[in-house]
Amino acid sequence: MKFLDQAKIYLQSGHGGAGCVSFHREKFIEFGGPDGGNGGRGGHIIFRCVDDANTLIDFRYTQHFKAGAGHHGQGREKTGAKGDDLVVRIPVGTQILDEDKQTILLDFTTVGEEVVFLYGGDGGFGNAHYKSATNQAPRKSTPGFPGQERAVWLRLKLIADAGIIGLPNAGKSTFLSAVTQAKPKIADYPFTTLAPNLGVVKLDGAGTDFVLADIPGLIEGAHEGTGLGDRFLGHVERTAILLHLIDGTQDDVAEAYTVIRRELEQYGEGLADKPEIVAINKIDAIDRDTLAQKIKDLRTVCKTPIHTISAVAHDNTRDILFELLKYVDARRNGEKDTGSQASAFDSYDPLQ
């Protein structure tokens, strides 16, 4: 399925039905009087969060949504039927934005959430409504009220517990495929991953699972649109922890780390302040002395403990997953300060 995380749609709730002008006509009833009914209410536009969708691809082919109009009133004081409501089904993690693409109107994070976004127009009054002691035969009715119209943007931010970031070819997709059942595209050229991927991590003995997100690689200038840009960073905004993977086979690991940190700061949204686990990947392809030098270089710019892994060989990946799980559990338990959890790794030696 093609991944789509932004779409613009046009919404219109239903118009109200018109009121009816009618007089009762029946044998042996000389003064039947006015009996025109009111019009029916127009249908609402409703957003509903569902669990059987994980992309906005459906909105590429259907952009216009219009709820049913209310029916007209009828004689014998019959109120017109209300218009059919229109339910717009959206995946978990979808935000409804105004046309400026900045103002967040709604944010759906739980399956089953439902919000009436646009209300249908009320129905008009029939002439029976205007009957009074001084106006016993009114010939007045009103048309239905118009529905509401609005154009909005849908923006999907994947619901994940932890996210993987790094330069292209850092081994992010390889790591995801090694620790989950996900099958992302893997190849030996940059920008193999063109859309975010999700996988569920199941750890034996942990008693809980968590969702891991892999986003396309960033390069210098991503915040200005270079490469694939930074739009996919929105999919790790909701995570509890970031796993920063660095390709151990490249020449300057310190620069690789600095580039990504700079892009996170430029992007904003609190990503630069999120807890981060830093790991040098592909240690199976470099010798011990070279690895020691790269760790030393990286420590000049990285103040957090540095881990070493090989996603291909599954070296130390399980330790990383348990570290990620600690932050995920802290988020789920409502703990705001997870900084103390890094203390157990302050004495961590990646070369042991």
Residue 343 has pLDDT above 60, yes or no: no
Give tens-digit pLDDT for 139-172: 999 999 999 999 999 988 887 888 888 888 888 8
> What average pLDDT does the segment 313-335 reach?
86
Q: Please provide residue 255's backbone torsions phi and psi, each rounded to the nearest 5 degrees.
A: -65, -40
In CATH terms, the fold of domain 1-156 is Spo0b-associated Gtp-binding Protein; Chain: A, (2.70.210)
Over its C-alpha atoms, the chain yields an Rg (Å, rounded) of: 30
DSSP annotation string for 104-116? EEEE--STT-EEE
Kindly give the pairing relationship between strand 306-308 and strand 241-247: unpaired
Residue 316 has pLDDT above 70, yes or no: yes
Residue 52 has pLDDT above 50, yes or no: yes
Residue 287 has pLDDT above 50, yes or no: yes
pLDDT for the residue numbered 190: 58
Question: Could you give the percent of the chain with pLDDT greater than 90?
Answer: 36
Average pLDDT, the chain: 84
Residue 347 has pLDDT above 70, yes or no: no
Residue linked to tokens 């592909």: 282
Question: What pLDDT band is residue 184 in, cutting at 50, 70 and 90?
Answer: low
* Strand (E) or helix (H) holding 165: strand 162-165
pLDDT for the residue numbered 138: 93
pLDDT for the residue numbered 42: 96
Question: What pLDDT band is residue 280 in, cutting at 50, 70 and 90?
Answer: very high
Strand order across the beta sheet in which 114-118 lies: 86-91, 45-50, 114-118
Tell me which CATH homologous superfamily contains domain 162-342. P-loop containing nucleotide triphosphate hydrolases (3.40.50.300)
pLDDT for the residue numbered 263: 85
What gap in Å lies between CA 191 and CA 109, rounded to an integer? 29
pLDDT for the residue numbered 16: 96
Lowest mean pLDDT of 59-68, 129-138, 176-185, name the range. Answer: 176-185
Our CA angle for 44, 46, 49, nearest 5°, is 170
Question: What pLDDT band is residue 202 in, cutting at 50, 70 and 90?
Answer: confident
Indicate the SS3 state at residue 206: coil
Residue 70 has pLDDT above 90, yes or no: yes
Question: What is the domain partition of the chain in residue ranges?
Answer: 1-156, 162-342
Two domains, one topology: 1-156 and 162-342: no
Structure tokens at 40: 């029916």
Lowest mean pLDDT of 34-48, 76-90, 226-240, 274-288, name the range. Answer: 226-240
pLDDT for the residue numbered 340: 36
Residue 45 has pLDDT above 70, yes or no: yes
Structure tokens at 264: 């996170």
Which residue would you say has higher pLDDT here, 224 or 281?
Answer: 281
DSSP annotation string for 238-305? T-SEEEEEEETTSS-HHHHHHHHHHHHHHH-TTGGGS-EEEEEE-GGGS-HHHHHHHHHHHTTT--S-
Exposed / middle / buried, residue 287 (Cβ in 10 Å: 0-12, 13-18, 19+) = exposed
